[in-house]
Chains A and B, each alone.
Chain A
Amino acid sequence: MSTTLHAILAVALVAAVIGVVRHAPRRLAWWIAVQVVLVAAAGYLLAMPHGEHGETLVVFTDGAKGAVPPRGDTVVALYGADAPAGAERVPDLATAIRRHRGTRDIVVVGEGLAARDRDAVRGFPLRFDAAPPREGIVSVSAPSRIALGREWRVRGRVRGAEGGSVELLGPGDVVLAKSAPTTGGFSLVAYPKIAGTLDAGVRLLDRDGAERERVPVPLVVAAGDPLRIAFVAGAPTPELKYLRRWASDAGHALRTRVALSPGIALRDAPFALDAASLAELDLVMIDERGFAALAPAERVALDEAVRNGLGLLLRATGPVPPPVAEAWAGYGWKVSGSGNALPAQLPGVPTTTTGPRRFERADIVFAADDAATLLASDAHVALARWRAHGRGRVGTWTLLDAWKLALGEDGARHGELMASVAETLARPRGTAPVRIARTARVGERITICGIGEDVRVASPDGTTHALLATGDQRCGAYWPVVAGWHDVVDGEKHTPFAVLASDVAPAMRARERSAATRALAAVAPTRIASPATRDWRVPATWAFLALLALAWWRERRS
Chain B
Amino acid sequence: MSVLARWLSAARRRRVAIALVLAGLPLAAILFVVWRQSPAWLVAAYAAAVGALTAIAAQRWTSLDAVALLRRLDATAPRFEDSSALLLRKLDTLNPLESLQRRRLEQRLLEATRPELRDPWPRRALVVSAIAAVLLSALAFVPQFTTVVATKPGAEPAATAPIAVRIESARLAIEPPAYTGVARRSVDALDARVEANARATWSLVIAGAPRSAMLQPLAGAPLALSLVDGRWTASREMAEPMLYRVVTEPALATEDALHRIDVIADRPPAIRVTEPERTLTLLAPGQKQWTLAFEAEDDYGLGDARADVTLAQGDGENVTVSERSMPLRGAGDAKRRRYTQVFDLAALGLAAGDDLIVRVRVADNRMPKPNESRSASFILRWTKESADEGSGVEGLVRKNLPAYFRSQRQIIIDTEALVAQQPSLAHDAFVDKSDQIGNDQRLLRLRYGQFLGEEQGHGAPHAPGALGAGHDDGDETSMAESEQPAESQAVLEAFGHTHDIAGAATLFDPETRALLKDAIDAMWQAEGELRLGNPKAALPHEYHALERIKQVQQASRIYLARVGVELPAIDPARRLTGDRGNAASTRDPLVASERDDDAVLRDAWNGGDTAALAAWIPAHQSSIPNALELQAALDGVQRKPDCAPCRAALRAQLWPLLRHAVPRTSARTMPDEAGRAYLDALAEPAR
Question: Given A174-B655, A248-B591, A391-B676, A148–B669 Cβ distance below 8 Å?
Answer: no
Residues in A neighbouring B666, C-beta threshold 8 A = 146-147, 222, 224-225, 423, 430
Does B459 make an interface contact (CB < 8 A)?
Answer: no
A-binding segment of B15-23, B330-338, B350-358, B678-686: B678-686
B55: interface (CB < 8 Å): no
A130-B246 Cα distance, complex, nearest whole Å:
59
Residues of chain B contacted by A391 (CB below 8 angstroms): 671, 676, 679-680, 683
Which of B250-258, B372-380, B450-458, B646-654 lines the interface with chain A? B646-654
A230 part of interface (Cβ distance < 8 Å):
no
Nearest A residue (CB) for B655: A174
Q: How far is the CA of A246 from the CA of B661 in the complex (A)?
A: 11
Contact, CB under 8 Å: B652 / A428: no
Specify which of A227, A249, A260, A267 is in contact with B667 (CB 8 Å cutoff). A227
Decide if B56 is an interface residue (CB 8 Å cutoff). Answer: no
- List A residues 368-392 near B (Cβ within 8 Å): 388-391
Could you tell me the distance between the alpha carbons of A280 and B672 in the complex, rounded to whole angstroms? 21
B658: chain A residues at CB < 8 Å are: 193-194
With an 8 Å Cβ cutoff, the count of chain A residues facing the other chain is: 58
B72: min CB distance to chain A, Å:
65
* Chain B contact residues: helix, strand, loop or mixed: loop
Whether B391 is near chain A, meaning CB under 8 Å from some CB there, is no
Which residues of A lie under 8 Å from residue B655 when comparing CB positions?
170-172, 174, 193
Interface residue ranges of A196-251 to B (CB < 8 Å): 196, 199, 222-225, 227, 244-246, 248-251
With both beta carbons as reference points, the residue of chain B lying nearest to A389 in the complex is identified as: B683
In the complex, the number of residue pairs spanning A and B with C-beta atoms less than 8 Å apart equals 141
> Does A30 touch B at the CB level, under 8 Å?
no
Q: Are A193 and B665 in contact (CB under 8 A)?
A: no
Q: Answer whether residue A264 sits at the interface, using C-beta atoms and an 8 A cutoff.
A: yes
Q: Are B602 and A429 in contact (CB under 8 A)?
A: no
Per-residue contact bits, chain B 602-621, to A (CB 8 Å; 1 contact, 0 not): 10011000000000000000
- B509 sits at the interface (CB 8 A): no
Closest Cβ neighbor of B645 among chain A residues: A172
Nearest residue, chain B, Cβ from A263:
B484
In this assembly, does A102 line the interface, its C-beta being within 8 Å of a C-beta of chain B? no
Contact partner of B665 among A250, A258, A390, A412, CB < 8 A? A250
Which B residues lie within 8 Å of A194 (CB)?
602, 605-606, 658, 661
What B residues does A430 contact at CB under 8 A? 666-670
Binds B, one of A20-28, A414-422, A490-498: A414-422
Interface string of B469-498 (1 = CB under 8 A from A): 000000000000000110010010000000
Given known contacts A428-B670, A433-B669, A193 and B664 CB-to-CB distance under 8 angstroms: no
B592 close to A248 (CB less than 8 A): yes
| A150 contacts B669, C-beta separation under 8 Å | no
**B462 at interface by CB-CB < 8 Å:** no
Distance between A131 CB and nearest chain B CB, rounded to angstroms: 35
When distances are taken between beta carbons in the complex, the residues of chain A under 8 Å from B648 are: 171-172, 199
Interface centre among B650, B667, B671 (most CB of A within 10 A): B667
Is B320's beta carbon under 8 Å from chain A?
A: no
Which of B484, B588, B664 has the most CB atoms of chain A within a 10 A radius of its CB?
B664
User: From residue B281, how far is it (CB to closest CB) to chain A in Å?
Assistant: 36
A268–B487 CA distance with the chains assembled, in angstroms? 8
Instruction: Report if B590 contacts A (CB, 8 A).
Output: yes
Alpha-carbon gap, A251 to B488, bound state (A): 21
Residues of B within 8 A of A266 (CB): 488, 491
How distant is the Cα of A188 from the Cα of B672 in the complex, in angstroms? 35
Which residues in A have their C-beta under 8 angstroms from that of B592? 248-249, 251
A sample of 26 inter-chain contacts (CB < 8 A) reads A146-B666, A147-B665, A148-B661, A148-B663, A170-B652, A171-B651, A172-B648, A172-B655, A192-B661, A193-B660, A193-B661, A194-B602, A194-B658, A224-B665, A225-B666, A227-B665, A246-B662, A248-B590, A251-B592, A266-B491, A307-B683, A423-B665, A426-B665, A428-B669, A430-B670, A432-B670
Closest 7 CB pairs of A and B: A172-B652, A224-B664, A149-B661, A171-B651, A249-B662, A225-B667, A428-B668
Contacts A430-B669, A432-B672 aside, 10 further interface pairs with beta carbons under 8 A come to: A149-B660, A172-B653, A194-B602, A225-B666, A245-B590, A249-B662, A390-B679, A391-B676, A428-B667, A429-B667
